[in-house]
Amino acid sequence: MLEIKELKKTYVSKQNKYIALQDLNLNVSKGEFVSVMGPSGSGKTTLLNCISGFIAADSGKILLDGENILNIDEDKLAEVRQNKIGFVFQDFILINGLTVLENIFLPQIIANKNMKEIKKRTKALLDAFAIEMIKDKYPNEISGGQKQRVAIARALSNNPSIILADEPTGNLDSKSSSTVIQAFTDANKNLGATIFMVTHDAFAASHSDRVVALKDGHIIKELVRNASPREFLNDILNFMKGINGDIYDD
């Protein structure tokens, strides 16, 4: 579903070169929940930005549903972002002048869906994330955890091929983080969402199917969950400690 092949990205500053991603290869299957962890400067955000098309890679391929999205024009890229990629950001990025309901409506309206279809999809998402009771409230009237659940619902509104999540629990307390991770788990298990999440939060990562550890632009380890999140959390933490805490810096 998502295939990354020999991806390379270099930044140039004052005649100095910094290699952020070095011939990186990674596959994400449909319906999989994958977390990416690593220290600052490991390439996590660069990888996410290359997949989303926010920055250009030097070379390689990023295949989404078989299409290389590194080699498409801006109009086609905008179409891919609108229909195939859902985004969840650390800062929610909800529109304060719109209600919860209207925030979830918006991507579907932009995609020119009919109102009957929009209402049906939105009702299903409101129910799935237990936010129906706040649908008429504005973002400044709800909690951080509720905002992020709204953001996840909005990201799923056009039924994208993949959700890209950038530190979705970064601005939340532990209780709200648990609620948000449960929302991601529900989206993955109950709605079949494919999720690709960058995080420093080992607890959040422990609920994913697989953790990809980056360091210096390379994948140095992949951990697969074969037990409960609690047991997987121990595996993640033990791995991080085993490499002197270089990756787990939260």
Question: pLDDT tens digit string along 106-140?
Answer: 999 999 999 999 999 999 999 999 999 999 999 99
pLDDT score for 239: 84
Q: Is a pLDDT exceeding 80 seen at residue 246?
A: no
Question: pLDDT tens digit string along 50-83?
Answer: 999 999 999 999 999 999 998 889 999 999 999 9
How far is it, in rounded angstroms, from Cα 150 to Cα 172? 14
Let me know: does 175 contact 207? Beta carbons within 8 Å. no
pLDDT score for 185: 95
How far is it, in rounded angstroms, from Cα 141 to Cα 134? 9
Q: Is 155 helix (H, G, I), strand (E, B) or coil?
A: helix
Of 112, 97, 98, 195, nearest in space to 155 by CA: 195
Strands (E) in the chain, as ranges, are 2-13, 16-28, 33-37, 59-64, 67-68, 85-88, 162-166, 195-198, 210-215, 218-224
- What confidence category does residue 40 fall into, taking pLDDT thresholds of 50, 70 and 90? confident
3-state secondary structure string across 11-31: EEECCEEEEEEEEEEEEECCC
Let me know: does 204 contact 190? Beta carbons within 8 Å. no
Q: Is a pLDDT exceeding 70 seen at residue 187?
A: yes
Q: Give 140's DSSP letter.
A: G
Share of the chain above pLDDT 70, in %: 96
pLDDT score for 15: 79
Q: Is 164 helix (H, G, I), strand (E, B) or coil?
A: strand
How far is it, in rounded angstroms, from Cα 216 to Cα 46? 11
pLDDT score for 39: 85
How far is it, in rounded angstroms, from Cα 12 to Cα 27? 28
Higher-scoring residue by pLDDT: 190, 242: 190
Quote the pTM value: 0.93
Mean pLDDT over each residue of the chain, to the nearest integer: 92
Whole-number CA gyration radius for the chain: 18
pLDDT score for 13: 82
Of 209, 211, 142, 201, nearest in space to 177 by CA: 201
Let me know: does 229 contact 206? Beta carbons within 8 Å. yes
pLDDT score for 249: 47
Tokens standing for 147?
A: 């905002």
Q: Give 69's DSSP letter.
A: G
pLDDT score for 250: 44
pLDDT score for 243: 59
Let me know: does 32 contact 194? Beta carbons within 8 Å. yes
DSSP secondary structure letters along 210-244: EEEEEETTEEEEEEE--S-HHHHHHHHHHHHHHTT
pLDDT score for 245: 52
Q: Is a pLDDT exceeding 50 seen at residue 4?
A: yes
How far is it, in rounded angstroms, from Cα 86 to Cα 111? 13
How far is it, in rounded angstroms, from Cα 161 to Cα 165? 13
